[in-house]
Each structure stands twice: as C-alpha cells, then as structure tokens.
C-alpha cells in the first residue's frame, strides 16, 4: 500500500512532463508543415538525379 503513495504522484508527474513537452512542441511549430517532409523526400531524389545527369 505504501508503494501507491510513491507511484501515483510519480505517474502524475510523468504525465505532466509529457503534457508540457507536447505543449512546447506545439508552440515551437513542430507540427506546422506536415506535408513538407513528404514532398522534400521526392524533391531530394529529383535534385540528385539532376546532379548525376549534369556530370
């Protein structure tokens, strides 16, 4: 029973840390451009093939 007195506050603290990290990532713009990474993958391959053809 005494373990619950330690584990419940620890679980709440870890939950608050996770929530704070999520809110920080929202405010810092981590989720602003969700499609950009997918498009950059395609553009990067095209840019490499252009460099290979130029040589």
Distance CA 22, CA 16 (A): 10
Structure token pair of residue 15: 């939950």
pTM of the model: 0.59
The residue to which tokens 């290979």 are assigned: 52
Per-residue pLDDT of 1-55, as tens digits, reads: 889 999 999 999 999 999 999 999 999 998 888 888 777 777 755 555 556 666 5
């Amino acid at each position: 029973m005494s373990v619950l007195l330690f584990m419940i506050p620890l679980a709440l603290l870890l939950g608050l840390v996770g929530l704070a990290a999520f809110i920080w990532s929202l405010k810092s713009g981590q989720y602003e451009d969700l499609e950009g990474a997918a498009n950059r993958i395609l553009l990067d391959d095209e840019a490499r093939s252009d460099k290979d053809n130029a040589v």
